[in-house]
Chain A
């Protein structure tokens, strides 16, 4: 019984850590994605400026 409770606690602890890591990774991933979008937007703006700057 005690072993079972220990295993369950360990599993819950792991799950909690996993979910925290996942959330953190999701947040970081979103940040990276948005920053790459911003860089792309700037490159597009720069590309468009070649229309006028000739």
Chain B
């Protein structure tokens, strides 16, 4: 919105042309989202508390978590509001990738909203059933991916890029692109949701991965940089750096309120939406494998649940003391803070490793 205004003003006053730069708008988007979240945050937390939108805590979980019962949830709505408003302000609204990401994020957020609403307002502990959640996630993801596949006019927009190899690109075709994309988008959405079990555990890795994806998006959208680094050039993908900046800014501001001891939880409305957004950005930039590396904490948390369930069904024995993995470490005696900060450190290392794939090809 502001881009069009500044373009108009730039014809008379050249200073306004500085806002054409994606890097500047990405930084400004982060700052704007941060500011919006700081302004709305306390009011939203107060409102959620008054509405008694309190989180129910699993009674079979660690005993130390029982004191968290009643902490307001659905704080993800704060992140989504900040991201949506900021993207509409600073993003190029003629860019199809921005709209695809924004609509998918809000769609996933809506699924999470319904789930949370049923759980906390109607006191229905099951919320939205796993099948309907998966169904609606699939509908939104397939719609977005089909649109991207339909609008793709170069093979590099649908090929699978293998990190560390400059010349290896596996042609997927339209169907392969949609199937792999579905796996990444829906998988990551649920992975972030599973990770969101301790104060600040999900949001900081999300901020770190989103910031790294901003760099990947910028490089992919830049003809010179993408050619130099051997990354597929996706015209228009650079604009996603603004969207990633908004996620990073809103996420950092949310962490302000979500750090231990949390004043608010993000709930499914935030977790499903942020996971879906990260997945789709990686699909657009053709960095699915790099996303799996950088979001290793999310992947491992999901695998721990799958292994635990499979092992219990097949052998009747549990591999972990409790799944997801963060509860396993809590029961081993790590303090909640220790688990959270250590998982952040691991994510930081994984993000650095992921970023190194830009150069090491």
| Contacts from A to B (Cβ < 8 Å) | 26-27, 30-31, 34-35, 38, 41-42, 45, 49, 52-53
Main SS of the interface on chain B?
helix
A25 to B176 CA separation, bound complex (whole angstroms): 53
Q: A41-B252, A42-B34, A52-B21 are in contact. Are A35 and B259 (CB under 8 A)?
A: yes
Instruction: Tell yes or no: B256 within 8 A of A by CB.
Output: yes
CB pair B337–A30 under 8 Å, yes or no, is yes
| Shortest Cβ distance from A35 into B: residue | B256
Q: A27-B261, A45-B30, A49-B27 are in contact. Are A34 and B255 (CB under 8 A)?
A: yes
A35 to B257 CA separation, bound complex (whole angstroms): 9
CB pair A52–B23 under 8 Å, yes or no, is yes
CB pair B27–A38 under 8 Å, yes or no, is no
Instruction: Tell yes or no: B24 within 8 A of A by CB.
Output: yes
A16 to B266 CA separation, bound complex (whole angstroms): 32
B206 → A minimal CB distance (Å): 14
CB pair B27–A34 under 8 Å, yes or no, is no
Q: A38-B255, A42-B252, A52-B24 are in contact. Are A31 and B34 (CB under 8 A)?
A: no
| Shortest Cβ distance from B200 into A: residue | A34
Main SS of the interface on chain A?
helix
Tell me which residues from 20 to 79 in chain B have a Cβ below 8 Å from any Cβ of chain A.
21, 23-24, 27, 30, 34
CB pair B24–A53 under 8 Å, yes or no, is yes
Instruction: Tell yes or no: B260 within 8 A of A by CB.
Output: yes
Q: Would you list 29 pairs from A and B whose C-beta atoms are within 8 A, ordered by A residue? A: A27-B260, A27-B261, A30-B260, A30-B261, A30-B337, A31-B259, A31-B260, A31-B261, A34-B200, A34-B255, A34-B256, A34-B259, A34-B260, A35-B256, A35-B259, A38-B252, A38-B255, A38-B256, A41-B252, A42-B34, A45-B27, A45-B30, A49-B24, A49-B27, A52-B21, A52-B23, A52-B24, A52-B27, A53-B24
Taking A34-B255, A52-B21 as known contacts, 7 extra A-B pairs with beta carbons closer than 8 A to each other, sorted by chain A number, are A27-B261, A30-B259, A30-B261, A34-B200, A45-B27, A49-B24, A53-B24
A38 to B167 CA separation, bound complex (whole angstroms): 39
| Shortest Cβ distance from B27 into A: residue | A49
User: For A45, what are the chain B residues with a Cβ–Cβ distance below 8 Å?
Assistant: 27, 30
Interface size counted on chain B using CB atoms at 8 A: 14
A41 to B34 CA separation, bound complex (whole angstroms): 12
A45 to B27 CA separation, bound complex (whole angstroms): 8
User: For A53, what are the chain B residues with a Cβ–Cβ distance below 8 Å?
Assistant: 24
| Shortest Cβ distance from A52 into B: residue | B23
Chain B 1-32 per-residue mask, 1 if CB under 8 angstroms from chain A, else 0? 00000000000000000000101100100100
A30 to B261 CA separation, bound complex (whole angstroms): 8
User: For A38, what are the chain B residues with a Cβ–Cβ distance below 8 Å?
Assistant: 252, 255-256
A31 to B23 CA separation, bound complex (whole angstroms): 31
B241 → A minimal CB distance (Å): 12
A13 → B minimal CB distance (Å): 20
User: For B27, what are the chain A residues with a Cβ–Cβ distance below 8 Å?
Assistant: 45, 49, 52
| Shortest Cβ distance from B211 into A: residue | A45
A6 → B minimal CB distance (Å): 30
User: For A42, what are the chain B residues with a Cβ–Cβ distance below 8 Å?
Assistant: 34, 252
A-B residue pairs, 10 tightest by C-beta: A34-B259, A27-B261, A30-B260, A49-B27, A30-B337, A52-B23, A31-B259, A38-B252, A38-B256, A35-B256
| Shortest Cβ distance from B337 into A: residue | A30
Most buried by B among A26, A34, A38: A34
A1 to B52 CA separation, bound complex (whole angstroms): 49
